[in-house]
Amino acid sequence: MYSEVLHFIRSVFHEPEEFIPLHAPYFGGNEKKYLADTIDSTFVSSVGAYVNRFEEMMCAITGARYAIATTNGTIALHLALVVAGVKPGEEVITQPLTFVATANAISHANGIPVFVDVDRDTMGMSPEALRAFLEAHAEMSGGFAVNKHTGRRIAACVPMHTFGFPCRIEKIAAICTQWNIPLVEDAAESLGSYSNGRHTGTFGLAGVFSFNGNKTVTCGGGGALVTNDPGLAERAKHLSTTAKVPHAYEFVHDEVGYNYRMPNLNAALACAQLEQLPEILANKRDLAAQYGRYFSGSGNFTFVSELPGTNANYWLNTIVLENAAVRDELLQVSNAAKVMTRPIWQLMNKLPMYSQCMRGPLENALWLEERVVNIPSSYRPHASVALPSNAGTAENTN
Ligand SMILES: *Cc1c(COP(=O)(O)O)cnc(C)c1O
């Protein structure tokens, strides 16, 4: 059973024997040229033309009015939570099935993570689970949602678009509006993913993206915060640049800020990568279509596909095993055969630092944790793919 799957994966990557990674970066454009520009100009650090250009490109791609470039996605999320108003000791609702950075960023903001279940099909936060948790445990007090049991304000909600599949974000946004809970999307994995024509990360107060080496496009390390709120954008940029007040020569800082701004070197790489985003997305969607056809006849695996009305970037292709008992064997056999596969993350509430956090019922997260495996998903330079005319463009700017 496995050897046939591994053979198929090797055939789509035109790679009969060498190691096939889960997700390798692809540098097929102006990367070297733009990097050389930064060195020639001496502007390699956090001031430079590419940083501004990167922010403009992120606005164009996502349709958000403002983008702030940061050194990575984790701190973009930290910054987003701070500017969204999370205060020490307040609660932030998120999903237990996520990369640890989501929960860590909440901790960095001195917030307390609270976990609600995911949907099985999107692997992202379940609006029903969110609603049920709030109805059971929250009440409105002074215009804010407060956890009745802990007395703490519920200061933000952070759903995550797992592996680039948009979660049911419109429904989540409506629930957050009803409870006056700021919505901050962890869109680290979903650059190029849309729900009903609107880019992920733009449904709430703020959204964050990552440009780490394993993501859809990379600049070595980098992140972005996007928002439509001018005041929030201004404060995020101010805090990300040591809260320095502009002055001809004096060092004036008006609050405790951070050194979070993306260097021009990384921004140069990011600009070159974003120029290729439509091509990379088309290439990845072609790979996903081939996987989808292959696994459609299989009784042992379900290939995860985008929901109707959504457009996934297929960052990491995902199969769900019918029989959870074979997961470890599949992981061992494939990795030993140099075809890289990975299980989904351990649930956050099972990690020592988050084991005491409050949570709702987590049936779907537990079910997925035992069954989800990611399979090789890199851009394939040999694939010949027709570009869809609207790939990577924002169809809705608001
Ligand atoms: C990658 C990732 C992050 C963090 O991004 P970095 O740039 O690596 O700090 C945050 N959340 C999720 C879900 C991620 O996958």
**Same domain for 97 and 35?**
yes
CATH number of the domain residue 108 falls in: 3.40.640.10
Q: What's the confidence (pLDDT) of residue 333? A: 97
**Same domain for 49 and 181?**
yes
CA–CA distance, 294 with 305 (Å, rounded to integer): 13
Q: What's the confidence (pLDDT) of residue 254? A: 96
CA–CA distance, 345 with 361 (Å, rounded to integer): 18
**Same domain for 137 and 241?**
yes
Q: Retrieve residue 322's tokens.
A: 């019918």
Task: List, for residues 289-325, the tens digit of each pLDDT value.
Answer: 999 999 998 889 999 999 999 999 999 999 999 999 9
Task: State in Å: Cα 16 to ligand 1 middle.
Answer: 32
List, in sequence order, the alpha helices (H) in 63-111.
Answer: 73-83, 100-108
**Same domain for 248 and 281?**
no
Q: Ligand 1, residue 76: give the atom nearest the CA.
A: 9
Domain holding 356, by residue range, is 2-26+277-375
Q: Is residue 383 part of a domain?
A: no
**Same domain for 73 and 19?**
no
**Same domain for 239 and 262?**
yes
Q: Ligand 1, residue 102: give the atom nearest the CA.
A: 11
Closest by alpha carbon to 98, among 346, 282, 269, 284?
Answer: 346
Q: How far is CA 397 from the centre of its chain?
A: 20
Q: Retrieve residue 113's tokens.
A: 């993570």
Domain boundary among the residues 251, 275, 299 is at 275
**Same domain for 228 and 356?**
no
Task: State in Å: Cα 296 to ligand 1 middle.
Answer: 30
**Same domain for 183 and 64?**
yes
Q: What's the confidence (pLDDT) of residue 398? A: 34
Question: What parts of the chain have a pLDDT lower than 70?
Answer: 384-398
**Same domain for 132 and 87?**
yes
Q: What's the confidence (pLDDT) of residue 387? A: 55
Tally the domains of the chain. 2
Q: What's the confidence (pLDDT) of residue 379? A: 97
Task: State in Å: Cα 65 to ligand 1 middle.
Answer: 22
